[in-house]
Chain A
Amino acid sequence: MNNKFSKAVIKRLISSLITLFLLISLLFILIRISPGNPTQKFISPELSPEIAKKVAEDFNLNDPLPEQYVSFVTNLIRGDLGISYNYRMPVIFVVWEFLSFTLVIAAISFLVQIIASYYLAVYSVQKQNKTTDRLISNLSLIFYSTPSFVIGVILIYLFAVQIDLFPTSGFVSLDYDSLNFFEKILDKIHHLILPLITLSITGIALFYRYLRDNLEDIYQQTFIMQLRANGLNENTILRKHVIPNAIGPLISVAGIELGILLSGTLITEVIFSLPGMGRLTIDSILTRDYPLIIGCTFAAGLLMILTNFFADLLKLKIDKRLLRGNVI
């Protein structure tokens, strides 16, 4: 069993590595076939010609294509992504600084999504086909099809402009430095409430739909009838038998949801002008900071590959059937 498990893990590790390799190749091809000289994508036009020449040599930009490719791959693997034009720092430090914020907010939002959708789904399946259930169901479809930026802007209009309850944008107040420790935390929470709602609402709707459909599916099955015939009360059936069966398929949805979440943070950070990787990406594009653009894209791809890998491992851990079959 253990042997099988480690085999499956290694298999997924190799497949993730191949995907990573393909991602790097895709980036290289995209940079090469895009119009314009590739040197200008690594060297700021403001640099003096001598330094530009030196950077070009450092990045092997004058070598033939295959060697450039090799050095591109090795540079990326070593984490050397060049120097950002705007920040005048190695790209990897800039990305890391902004990435941490995105990771934190994405993780909080993920938790919020799971908890809220879980309770909503369980509540609405208990009230099956009653008005509240229908209301929540229809609302979830509406929220699912509402773009996050529309939700964000409407939230700003309602809660920041009409009733001055939350700030419209930013991460900290102007007088942040004069606050004590608890006030600092409160200030940050105060700033993060609207972005978190914006980021989570689509995910809540998505999870809710899946979970509710799953729960309903399981309620239709015969073993539930049998349990009822045995005289178990509804609460025990729900907690002991329905929910454990419904949670399993949710993990693969969670893997997909992480991709949506990452795109969602991009837009949410732009709406509320928060210091995260999404806004960094957009800013770097609008200012044509090519090393930073490539760095951000690479980081996002890497993050996705990693999370998918761990989601796969989790699935393996929970669903032992996957070990038996040859299913990837």
Chain B
Amino acid sequence: MKFKLKIWQLISALWLLIILLQFNRLIELAVLWIKYFLLCFNDFGVAISLLDFKLLDSLLALIFFIVIPLLLISYRRRIKFLNYKLNFSNGVIIILLITFLMAPIITSENPDFQKNLSVTKHLTPLSKVKVLHLKIEDNYESTLLNKFLIYKREIIREVFDESIIYADSMGEMAPDKIIYYQKNIMKELPVEKLIENNGIPLITTKTFLLGTDEFGRNIFTRLVYSLRISLLVGTGAVLISFLLGITMGFIAGYKGGLIDTVFNRFAELFLAFPVIYLVVLILALFSSSLIAVVIILGISGWMSLFKIVRGEVASLKQKDYIQTAKLLGIKTNRILFKEILPVIIAPVIVNLIFQFSNVILAESALSYLGLGAGDSYPSWGAMIQSGQEYITKAWWMIIFPGGCLVVTLFTANYFGRRINKFFNPRLDK
């Protein structure tokens, strides 16, 4: 192929795709922003108290959507990676990051949303259902606050939504009532209960791109949100491993002696242990929550980093320039951060990338075993586990989360190998 794609081309294509597919969503979020902005001027205290994670998330997603391209365009000469050749791992990393940052734009649903189970249970990918939009009776005063709250309820979907009904198909039109079918059961509804659009009752069609699970939840939405959980757990745990490994490695390598022996022995102990048993034991003894999973996976992954840092520091310590720095009276902290860290950063980064993929793997395995963050968050492992129960009739419940997991882990491993080759050109034969 003569024409090589560049990274910036992928990014702009993705942006165009989002604008084309989710234009309505963008407009809705913009209106939400304006309303919130007005509310802030009107009553700042109330506005702040309304600011929960989901609202902040939706608001930030729009900002990311606007600011990131502006930044990239204005600094396009400085940011070199924009002109890199596009390959599989680069592309996946960019798609994952964009999905991570802009989940509320990409999907407008709540990952736990379920409604009319008889219609939505185990829908195949690309299946369509009819959506009946009901009027919400609101007797509230029409203040700015209430208007904002009503609009927010429409934009940021909750787990329950009284204002819509899913139906398999519509019956014949009658002048005063709507007839619809849910699993061959005929139901009817007075016309005046529905929102009217130009005199016609508002009935739309909804497509479930990747089907639904056993509770009628949208698998696509759940995949998007569990990507966030996986990446968050990965980043958090890697950060903890990094801090632990670096500090302990520095201390052990720099001080030597008894501390070195003790730390080394601990590392051997953790290495000599099938980590999953340890993690499982700790999760069983303590409660298992998302934070607990992050901390435990972080703690159980510091050994390899410790070994690398300790070895490098112990050998660097003997070098002349470190000895000179010491004799000059430079403080130990400064020596460590200014002289030693830059030298050892390459193997550390490579190790952290592999660690990242290990943590994502471990998190999904834990949630597959039913020991992860629980049902409070969607997770790829848990989705596969629930899919296994319905393996005879719902293949899409396994294939899509499994595919996401494999692609993510493969990308992390592949990227780690490439970085490794970049830092150690000798390996690239």
B-binding residues in A (CB < 8 A)? 15, 18-19, 22-23, 26-27, 30-31, 34-35, 141-142, 144-147, 149-150, 153-154, 156-157, 161, 168, 216, 220, 259, 262-263, 266-267, 270-271, 281-282, 285-286, 288, 293-294, 296-297, 300-301, 304-305, 308
Contact = CB atoms under 8 A, between A and B. Distances in A.
Contact of A149 (B273, B278, B365, B417): B365
Contact of B275 (A31, A144, A263): A263
Nearest to A18: B265
Given A150-B402, A282-B369, A156 B284 contact: no
B388 A145 contact: no
Given A19-B265, A19-B268, A22-B269, A263 B369 contact: no
Contacts of A285: 280, 283-284, 371
B413 A141 contact: yes
**Can you list the 8 inter-chain pairs with the closest CB atoms, starting with the nearest?**
A34-B285, A145-B409, A263-B276, A262-B274, A285-B284, A150-B402, A145-B410, A300-B277
Q: Which of B281, B364, B429 has the largest count of A CB atoms less than 10 A from its CB?
A: B281
A282 B392 contact: no
18 contacts: A30-B285, A35-B287, A141-B410, A141-B414, A145-B413, A147-B361, A147-B405, A149-B381, A150-B406, A153-B384, A156-B388, A157-B398, A263-B274, A267-B368, A270-B368, A270-B369, A285-B280, A293-B284
B93 to A, nearest CB: 14
Contact of B276 (A23, A266, A293): A266
A266 B405 contact: no
Nearest to A288: B284
Contacts of A19: 265, 268-269, 272
A288 B371 CA distance: 12
A134 to B, nearest CB: 14
Nearest to A217: B429
Q: Taking chain A's interface residues, is the majority helix, strand, or loop, or is none over half, making it mixed? A: helix
A229 B35 CA distance: 81
A156 B391 contact: yes
A18 B330 CA distance: 38
Contacts of A157: 391, 395, 398
B302 to A, nearest CB: 15
Contacts of B271: 259
A190 B272 CA distance: 33
A50 B265 CA distance: 43
A153 B414 CA distance: 24
B281 A30 contact: yes
B41 interface: no
Interface string B256-272: 00000000011011011
Contacts of B298: none
Contacts of A293: 281, 284-285
Contact of A259 (B274, B287, B365, B409): B274
B71 to A, nearest CB: 32
Contacts of A144: 413
B339 to A, nearest CB: 28
A145 B364 contact: no
Nearest to A15: B268
Contact of B277 (A146, A150, A297, A305): A297
Contacts of A15: 268
B190 interface: no
Contacts of B388: 153, 156, 271
Nearest to A26: B269
Contacts of A271: 388
A266 B387 CA distance: 19
B257 to A, nearest CB: 16
Given A150-B405, A168-B391, A259-B272, 9 more contacts: A35-B286, A141-B417, A142-B406, A142-B410, A147-B405, A153-B398, A157-B398, A270-B369, A293-B285
Nearest to A286: B370
Contacts of B275: 259, 263
Contacts of B212: none
A141 to B, nearest CB: 6
Contacts of B410: 141-142, 145-146
B412 interface: yes
B285 A31 contact: yes
B280 A161 contact: no
B63 interface: no
Contacts of A18: 265
A217 B429 CA distance: 9
B272 A296 contact: no
A216 to B, nearest CB: 7
Interface in B153-180: none
A305 B286 contact: no
Contacts of A259: 271-275
Nearest to A258: B274
B405 A216 contact: no
